[in-house]
């Protein structure tokens, strides 16, 4: 069997691929928008595959509607590939992060320390190897998660449904997004084909 190839999004993928190339030196941030089912996640998956093929580290998170009310809901997904570096954190940051993730018992951690730990782990990863941060369905992420992604030393690529997310998108894109790609309907059905 052949590999799956993205069909009909060559222009958008080329722009994101150029962003990947430039991200190593100066960062790049994108917000991919469009109605549900238009292909945002497929495009994001193609970017992730391209990043991995270049040897980049990919940190990925998917916003889930049911988790939006839980503090730090995104951390377990986002940091799973960089948790090996947790011992490099300052002890208060490490303790706060591990408590937030439910890996150690304790009182609710200070949100500032959890955020600082997250940013320092991402920064540590990016110092060792080019790192790409990918967030799917950003409109479903917690406000805490979104605000910290915008402060990340690694510029993110986010997807967001345009249905019911207008106010959140302004917040997501207020400072960090360099380019917004709004996906429109494809001329033919299907986003992937075997090659």
pLDDT at residue 164 greater than cutoff 50? no
pLDDT at 43: 86
If pLDDT is split at 50, 70 and 90, which confidence band does 163 have?
A: low
For residues 25 and 127, the model is more confident at: 127
CA–CA separation, 64 vs 180, rounded Å? 22
Query: Predicted confidence band at 122 (pLDDT cuts at 50, 70, 90)?
Result: confident
Report the alpha-carbon distance of residue 193 to residue 9 in Å, rounded: 12
Host domain of residue 82: 14-184
Distances (CA, A) of 126 to 36, 77, 116, 120: 31, 17, 15, 10
**Is residue 7 in a domain?**
no
Radius of gyration of the chain (CA): 17
Asked if residue 170 has pLDDT above 70, the reply is no
Distances (CA, A) of 162 to 79, 168, 188: 27, 10, 21
What per-residue confidence (pLDDT) applies to 92?
A: 96
The better pLDDT of the pair 134, 176 is held by 134
- The CATH number linked to 179 is 3.40.50.300
**Number of domains comprising the chain:** 1
| pLDDT band for position 99 (cuts 50, 70, 90) | very high
Q: Are 59 and 45 in contact (CB under 8 A)?
A: no
Choice between 1 and 14, residue whose per-residue pLDDT is larger: 14
59, 1, 6, 80 alpha-carbon torsion, rounded to 10°? -10
pLDDT average, residue stretch 71-94: 89
**Model confidence, pTM:** 0.75
69 strand-pairing partners: none
> Under 8 Å CB-to-CB from 114, ≥6 apart: which residues?
72, 75, 93, 96, 97, 100
- pLDDT level of residue 191 (50, 70, 90 thresholds): very low
Residue 9 is assigned to a structural domain of this protein: no
H/E element, 180? strand 179-182
Does residue 169 form part of some domain? Answer: yes
- With respect to residue 161, please indicate whether it lies within any of the assigned structural domains: yes
Kindly state whether residue 190 falls inside one of the protein's structural domains.
no
Highest average pLDDT, of 2-6, 62-66, 158-162, 168-172, comes from 62-66
- Let me know if residue 193 belongs to a domain: no
Distances (CA, A) of 21 to 55, 128, 175: 12, 17, 21
Band of residue 185 on the pLDDT scale cut at 50, 70, 90: low
Q: Is residue 195 part of a domain?
A: no
Backbone torsions φ then ψ of 118, nearest 5 degrees? -60, -50
Q: Is the pLDDT of residue 117 over 80?
A: yes
Q: Is residue 57 part of a domain?
A: yes
- High-pLDDT (> 70) share of the chain, %: 72
């Amino acid at each position: 069997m052949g590999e799956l190839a993205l069909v009909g999004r060559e222009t958008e993928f080329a722009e994101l691929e150029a962003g990947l190339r430039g991200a190593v030196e100066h960062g790049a941030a994108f917000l991919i928008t469009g109605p549900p089912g238009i292909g945002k996640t497929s495009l994001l998956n193609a970017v992730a595959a391209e990043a991995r093929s270049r040897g980049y580290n990919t940190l990925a998170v998917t916003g889930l509607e049911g988790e939006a009310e839980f503090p730090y809901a995104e951390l377990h997904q986002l940091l799973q590939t960089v948790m090996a570096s947790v011992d490099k954190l300052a002890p208060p940051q490490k303790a706060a992060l591990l408590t937030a993730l439910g890996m150690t018992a304790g009182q609710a951690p200070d949100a500032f320390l959890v955020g600082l730990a997250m940013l320092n782990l991402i920064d540590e990863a990016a110092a060792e190897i080019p790192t790409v941060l990918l967030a799917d369905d950003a409109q479903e992420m917690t406000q805490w998660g979104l605000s910290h992604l915008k402060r990340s030393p690694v510029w993110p690529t986010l997807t967001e449904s345009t249905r019911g997310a207008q106010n959140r998108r302004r917040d997501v894109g207020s400072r960090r997004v360099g380019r917004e790609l709004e996906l429109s309907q494809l001329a033919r059905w299907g986003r992937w084909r075997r090659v």
